[in-house]
Amino acid sequence: MSQDTCLIQKLQHYAPLDADSKGKLAELEKETRSFEPGAVIIEKGSRSEMMYVVQSGWAYHYVLLSDGRRQIVKIHHPGDVIGFPDIAYDKSNSTLQACANDLVLCPFPKAEFGGLFVRYPRLSALLFAIAVRDQVLFSDLITATGRMSARERLCYLLLEMRARLRITDTIKGNSFALPLTQTEIGDTLGMTNVYVSKTLKLMEDQDLIARSGARVTLKDLRQMADLCEFHDRHETLDTSWLPAKVGLD
């Protein structure tokens, strides 16, 4: 095993992995497929037989209502596993699309994931923890879209992305590239591209953030966090309940 992949790096941030588990994870990532910016990878309603690990680039899942309204339900970064929600259904519940940069995914079949539970109880419990961590992230987003103002929502989104990126990337300072259009940001937070633009402008005027091109700088983390009562869900996970690392044999 040359060096650790994003996924292994991310999981090890929460709990140590033995060589056997790492080997298994590396196996999931052995095949790669590339997609160009904006490519549709999974069509909503298609048979969901594969899962993916994100190797590089960003992607998102969205749902389209019949009159064109769109809701982005999940944004994926390198090291994320794509396909948890679809694993429980035989057809995809949402469309998966690449963001504004090139995307490399590692596909593997659902059944291989099921096999993990037999031989790698500790690893599968850790993946379970990741899955329920995502539930908490969903709750946060529901709280944002359900109860927060436009400015609070944008603070939330930016802080959440920063927290997420810090686990794998080493973000220099408080600045990072945001390969999302304002329409995509709006579709994530339940607002229009126009109001995203106006609110970002306002936040810039208030010295909360700075922008240059696709790059954002969070200039006042403290105040932003206060505004949306932000909690970092990525820094630590409780793994004390995981079973010991022995599996079969």
Which of the stretches 52-60, 82-90, 156-164, 174-182 binds a copy of itself when contact is defined by CB under 8 A?
A: 82-90
Size of the site for a copy of itself (CB under 8 A): 64
**Between 34 and 149, CB nearer to a copy of itself:** 149
DSSP-assigned letter for residue 68: S
Angle of helix 121-147 versus helix 110-119 axis, rounded to 10: 120
Sign of torsion over alpha carbons 140, 156, 14, 25: positive
Least distance (Å) between residue 148 CB and DNA: 7
Residues 215 and 179 sit within 8 Å (Cβ to Cβ): no
Phi, psi angles (nearest 5°) of residue 69: -60, 140
State the alpha helices, DSSP H only, in the chain.
Answer: 6-12, 19-28, 84-87, 110-119, 121-147, 150-168, 182-189, 193-205, 221-228
Is residue 222 at the binding interface for a copy of itself, with CB under 8 A as the rule? no
**The dihedral sign for the CA sequence 148, 151, 157, 158:** negative
Residues 117-156 that bind DNA (CB under 7 A): 149-151
Q: Which 8-state DSSP code applies to residue 209?
A: E
Residue closer to a copy of itself, measured from CB, 189 or 209: 189
Least distance (Å) from DNA to the CB of residue 60?
13
Nearer to a copy of itself, 174 or 184 (CB): 184
- CA atoms 16, 18, 24, 29: torsion sign: positive
Shortest gap between Cβ of 17 and a copy of itself (angstroms)? 15
Which two structure tokens, joined as six digits, stand for 196? 């995203």
Amino acid at 66: S
Residue with smaller CB distance to DNA, 218 or 242: 218
* Residue 193 interacts with, from a copy of itself, DNA, none (CB under 5-8 Å by kind): DNA
The one of DNA, a copy of itself, none whose footprint includes residue 115, by CB under 5 to 8 A per kind, is: a copy of itself
Q: Which of 130, 183, 221, 225 binds DNA (CB under 7 A)?
A: 183
- Using CB under 8 A, list all residues that contact a copy of itself: 48, 61, 63, 65-66, 69-71, 73-74, 84-85, 87-90, 93-94, 110-111, 113-115, 117-118, 121-122, 124-125, 127-136, 138-139, 141-143, 145-148, 189-190, 229, 231, 233, 236-238, 240-244, 246-248
